[in-house]
A and B are shown apart, each in its own frame.
Chain A
Amino acid sequence: MRIDAKVNRKIKGLPYDISFEVKDNIVSLEGKVEEYSDWVKIGSEIGDIEGVEGVINDLECEGKGSIVPKGFIEKSEGDEDVKMGGYDVVIIGGGIIGCALARELSKYQIKVALVEKEPDVSLGQSRANNGMVHPGLAPSKDSLKRSLNIKGNEMYEDLCEELDVPFKRVGSLILITSRTMEGYKKYIPDPIYKFFLKFILPWIVKKKGEVNGVKDIEILRGTEIHEEEKKVTQDVLSAVKIPSTGIVDPYQLTIALFENSEKNGVDFYFETKVVDFVKLGRSVKGVITDKGTLGCEYVVNAAGLYSDVVAELAGAREYTIHPRKGVELLFNKRLKGWVDHCLAELKIPSHPTSKGGGINPTVHGNIIWGPTAEEIADRNDTSVEREKIDEIMERYSSILPDFPKEGFIRYFAGVRAATFTEDFVIRPARDVRNFLHVAGIQSPGIASVPAIAEYSIERLKDMGLELDEDESFDGTRSSIDRAAEMDKEVLERRIEKDSRWGNIVCTCEMVSEAEILDAIERGADSFDAVKRRTRAGMGECQESYCLLRISEIISREMDIPLNEVRKEWRDSEFFDGVVRGEEP
């Protein structure tokens, strides 16, 4: 059956008047629905149809109007007047994908620029996830996700070693418990149910992993499980152990990729928004931003949550992003001993759009619970509802029933940039000759990063980009040294040379003034930028001790008044003016 017919059949059954168009396997939808959930559901059902390579969802929503934002800001006169240089490749988006691509391209003799609307790298979904380097078990066999996940996961040690970023291959356990198939329990006699969960299901999971290309999967039963993970629930019947699962600090990796690309000649433009493109026939000749125009031979769209908006500006609309929020709950380092592996409880049927999250350790010794998965209309909505915190606690406590849940220190939310086909979209645009989509990167995006970068460059080559290796490329980078990780002698020598190593400004994470200065030296110009680079403020007191102390250092080093120190963005200055009576 042709795609038209399949789409038609789906749409006919719906209580809405929806029209559609199919071109090059991309389906465009128009019409009106009542609920946002219908907007998502219809998009997803069309995206599920075999052969569909993209869904452009222009359905309007009752009371909300159009869901998809049109551009970031109004294009204003003169935006294109300032010339910001000519580049071989302009990357749009400074998340982990854009930065990984920038670094990969910096290995060659070409001029590369990256534009980012925010003041720092990693401010979208790259900073707000649990840092899990998935093994590649979950994606379906024929997906692009699967092959890039498997390959990317294998590349992690080398990448993180070069960039001096902590990475740990902790392995994961998929737990099968008596709750795993709760919905079916009443139809199956108990001994058979238990037998299935203990002997058959883990085998099925293992087989699926092996078919996907995941190596060294083991099945654990009985005491073997508690030997691996002491405090896991007693009612676990079997577990599937996957040694290749890893953990990484996603924003530290992004920052490392950024620093190393910059060192190798990539130009980064922060607080620079793409407003339009200069087009000539089927080619983009320039990227127009609110700061000026960058000439380009090729454009990479790694704009994450806004990749569909950017694509539309270029005349390359092939998908719509449906934002999916995930809330994470972070626990005190003191609970470190509770979890050694990434833990998840298998539930069948699974959550339709998320693997269901779980409990993970972090490379810094915290424990993280989550994420949730919630379809939201507003892409910028990273708020956390009070109820979600309780929901997460409830949902995952079956994995570790005795865990001291009151030990959480923070919660946060990130928004996944999902497309309706739910696979990565890495391909040349159909209607624009020199525009590469690197979109729809959601879980297992972090794990796939190194492979996505390589794969994207192969696509650029296919599109005609000529690459000659740059012999001067230096792929190494060192991270900020940490007083907390130094033994007595090393720290003592540092202090002898520079007393600021002995001035501990964040007492929870033991961060010294010298580390704060190093972060500022590397370009951090706000409290949160310093925080991401040094971990100052990330401990149990959550900035209440160090906020002022670090702000004072930033104020001194940047030579700005204390009340102009920003949390992150412009218009996020911490404090107000001087007190009454001290006004000049």
Chain B
Amino acid sequence: MKDVVVIGGGPSGLAVSSELAKKGYDVVLLERNDELGGLLQQCIHDGFGTDLFGESLSGPEFADIFISRVRGEDVDIKLEAYVRSVNKEEGLFNIVTVTPKSVEELEARSVVYAIGCRERNQFEIKIGGTRPSGVYTAGTVQRLINLYGILPGKDVVILGGGDVGMIVARHLFLEGVNSILMVYPEEFFSGLPRNAQQCILDFDIPYRPRTIVRDILGDKKVKAVELVDVDEDWEPIPGTEEIYHCDSVILSVGLVPYSEKLEDLGARVDKKTSGPMINEYFETTVDGAFSVGNLIQIFDYVDDAVKTSFTAAEGVERYLENESKKDLGIELKPGDNVRTVTPQRVDERTGEKFSVFFRPAIEKEDPKVEVMSKGEVLESCVKRYVSPSILEEISISKDILLGEEEVIIDVR
């Protein structure tokens, strides 16, 4: 019998494993790859760790810190471990893993999902046309360049103006492709302003806002794409179609949390974040099943994603020690000008303050962030600037929530 099984050896999984082991729990860490570190291993650019460590690290450097922490603790690490099933029976979790060594059944009192997300593909965004070779997700391209030293193509179109797309664009530019064009449906880059400057503008990489790849052309290999301008609702504007020649299309069109695995266990999923619904200790709606990192929502900074693990480790501890008392059941919901809020629920009286992350739906300078219930403002604060491309964090004290049932977070 294990105290906790952590699924996923990326930064958040590593952090929660070492925290729990440090507390003296018997921890098993399962990772499907043959090395720890998750996606960070393919992110060789820097910018990681500025918050947690006060310096700008590369992905592998950042990962190494947490890998050593886990290695320094007594964590049972299983690599190349595919989780075939997780079931909960009589309060205990039964986890079946497949590794090159064996099929193993683990029993655990609690489980932490740190499985992150997958990239959206060409079908999920309904790109039309043919289905030739030469269409890749940005993550595949990062892996291809950084781990194999191979380029996807010579003339590249990148769809999506988010952080990953911008970083990949700069990378391709530096590694010597012939041409790059970045297109995205938003009016501005959807990633961090810092990345827009350092990855696109500084290198004069051409970009086209309010544009999408409508069709892919070419039978065997990508020969061209049909670009089309879109309106504010991202609907194509007839008559603006243009054939653009290229040999590869790189998709950086968002990430989808692997929350289906948790759904199989019976956990509820928030339609807005696509991640599992969690409480302030990152516990899902299945008692004893926790969720950390980018599985909850896409964090802008890995530092923030990893910080969820510290709180979750406390939550797991409280659960294992039977200290958790879920008596509040207050729901947190996004207001009109907010897209997502996590946690979705506050369950316990203990702990004075907790962090709430929310993604604004609007761009605004000096906005007021309000915590409201039944039309009344319980607490408010002022931010310098909010935008949908920046995930915001506020700290709320539990005292003001007592007695409420449904609390709304909004910006004005």
Contacts and interface: CB of A to CB of B under 8 A. Distances in A.
A382 to B, nearest CB: 7
Given A510-B84, A563-B150, A567-B133, A409 B214 contact: no
A496 B102 CA distance: 7
B130 interface: yes
B126 A488 contact: no
Contacts of B129: 383-384
A389 B126 CA distance: 8
A454 interface: no
A579 B150 contact: yes
A187 B179 CA distance: 63
A202 B176 CA distance: 66
Interface in B118-141: 118-119, 121-124, 126-134, 136-137, 139-140
A567 B132 contact: yes
Contact of A572 (B105, B132, B140): B132
A492 B102 contact: yes
A386 interface: yes
Contact of B148 (A384, A408, A491, A562): A562
Candidate in A510, A562, A572 with the most chain B CB atoms within 10 angstroms: A572
Interface string B377-404: 0000000000000000000000000000
Contacts of B123: 408-411, 542
Interface string B35-51: 00000000000000000
B145 A579 contact: yes
A414 to B, nearest CB: 12
Contacts of A571: 220-221
A108 B176 CA distance: 59
B32 A488 contact: no
A345 interface: no
Contacts of B139: 544
B269 to A, nearest CB: 12
A510 B103 CA distance: 13
Contacts of B220: 567-572
B406 interface: no
| Residue among A495, A544, A562, A573 with most chain B CB within 10 A | A544
Interface string B44-88: 000000000000000000000000000000000000101010000
Given A502-B98, A569-B220, A488 B150 contact: no
B228 to A, nearest CB: 10
A502 B152 contact: no
A495 B80 CA distance: 13
Nearest to A409: B123
A543 B133 CA distance: 12
B119 A488 contact: no
Contacts of A499: 100-101
Contacts of A492: 102-103
B365 interface: no
Contacts of B287: none
A410 B260 CA distance: 18
A575 interface: yes
A574 interface: yes
Contact of B140 (A488, A491, A544, A568): A544
Contacts of A234: none
Contact of B118 (A488, A541, A575, A580): A541
B98 A572 contact: no
B153 A576 contact: yes
A483 interface: yes
B118 A545 contact: yes
Given A386-B127, A386-B214, A575-B151, 15 more contacts: A334-B260, A495-B98, A502-B98, A502-B101, A504-B82, A507-B32, A510-B82, A541-B121, A544-B121, A547-B136, A566-B133, A568-B220, A571-B220, A572-B220, A577-B150
